[in-house]
Amino acid sequence: MSLLRRLLARRDDAPLFVAVSLVVGLALATYPAVDWYLRAIGVAPRFGFWDFGAYANAVDRWVAGESLYARNDNGGYHGSYLYPPIALLALAPFRLALDFRPAAILWTACAVLLLWIAIQRLVGALGVPLRPRERVAILPLVAGFHPVLLAVKLGQTAAGLTALLTLAASASLRGRSHLAGALTACCGVVKLPYAPAGAHLLGDRDRFAGAVVGGLALLALSVLLFGVEAHRTFLDVLAWGVETGSVARSPRIWLPPYYRPLYDVPYGLAIRVLASLAIVVGVLRASTDAVREVTALGFAAVPLLAPLTYTYYFAAALPAVVLLLAAELDRPDGRPTVPVVGLLLLHVHSYGLRTAGLLLPEWVPGLLIQPGLWGNLLLVGLAAARVAAAGGTDLGAARSLASAVGRRGD
């Protein structure tokens, strides 16, 4: 039975889930046309590949024997290459073989195609067979998800990194734990804000070992190819990023990539730390059977817990939604509508925020006008509740952390 027929077969038992799923599918599939209209009226940004320009400049400097990281006149690195040196290996072949725009187009197309393949692998690992036409139908859904399309426009790495996370989840479900760990570590090494995605590593010794070996191997290769000095400069880049990232602009100063989940919330850093510790406790106490929920929790937490996050980080929620949807459909008391609604809120975040910022009075807190925040909280909240139930623990209780640490030390 096709996926569409399986969905429609639930219309009597779960009419809301079926209706919302059809609306979300239509919204994703038709969004490229909506984006074309928004570009035509000057609202949506063009395909400028600005971030890929920074990557291309780093490749040019590398070939010329110069530093990968170019300081601005003010001493910062704004607009420069901000990734660790090893990430350049994934970008250099495109820049060295082609001129800028063809290289950027091919780079982003390959990233989206890899994500499309990865989603198919994940669906297959969940035990759902896909017909050829269903595989084709997944492509416009992936490419039409606004955070993915925005990443393409900017020439960002989000689609490629999400593909690695999705392949990691698929490998984990297929019993290839070492590979799952190595792929997850690759994301964290390339982009540190993706560290929460590694939550599932704590639940399995082989996944953790694969991450350690994979991370160390990448670091060793990076030092071997680029030298120690490049990595010292990268540490300066990180320090500059921490300093500049601590001052967040209001989400009302709208740009399509803006997402400020804890804007104007007191003790935002402390909240992130406590939430991260709660996730650690939940994962350590969760049953090994909760791998889908644990993995989804880490992936969905990436845009919520990263110190400085952007709308294109929502791309990491795609595999989280697939995992949560599968888990909820398997539960007699499952709530499959929740992850679908969460996905819709992430999809409409950018222009929903723009509309809310224009229509709502200034006294409405920036926290309340961000659709993506509520979608993010739905996904993290549902995954956290399922992980907590799998471990019989309250993720928010401080005594759980002390208890877990005590047992590990026995």
pLDDT digits 0-9 by tens, 59-107? 999 999 999 998 887 778 888 899 999 999 999 999 999 999 999 999 9
The neighbour count for residue 248, using CB atoms within 10 Å, is 17
Euclidean distance between CA atoms 305 and 273, whole angstroms: 8
Per-residue b or e along 57-94, where b marks 16 or more CB atoms closer than 10 Å to that residue's CB? bbbebbeeeeebbeeeeeeebeebbbbbbbbbebbbeb
- pLDDT tens across 385-402, in order? 999 998 764 444 444 444
What are the pLDDT digits (tens) for 185-222? Answer: 999 999 989 999 999 999 999 999 999 999 999 999 99
Q: What is the pLDDT of residue 406?
A: 43
Count of CA atoms in the C-beta half-sphere (13 A) of 258: 19
pLDDT of residue 405: 42
Chain length of the chain:
410
Q: What is the pLDDT of residue 292?
A: 96
Long-range contacts of the stretch 106-111 (C-beta < 8 A, 24+): 107/52, 107/155, 108/49, 108/52, 108/151, 108/152, 108/155, 108/159, 110/160, 111/151, 111/152, 111/157, 111/159, 111/160, 111/163
CA–CA gap between residue 296 and residue 306 (Å, rounded): 16
Per-residue pLDDT of 110-131, as tens digits, reads 999 999 999 999 999 999 999 9
SS3 67: coil
Cα–Cα distance, 195 to 292 (Å, whole number):
18
- The rounded distance, in Å, linking the Cα atoms of 397 and 391 is 13
Burial of 34 (0-12, 13-18, 19+ CB in 10 A): middle
pLDDT digits (tens, 9 = 90+) for 349-374: 999 999 999 999 988 888 889 999 99
pLDDT recorded at residue 266: 85
Those residues with Cβ within 8 angstroms of residue 301's Cβ, 6 or more apart along the chain or in another chain: 196, 197, 199, 275, 276, 279, 380
CB 157 within 8 A of CB 81: no
pTM for the full model? 0.91
Report whether 327 contacts 173 (CB < 8 A): no
CA–CA dist 148, 400 (Å, integer):
37
pLDDT, average across residues 127-145: 94
User: What percent of the chain has pLDDT above 90?
Assistant: 76
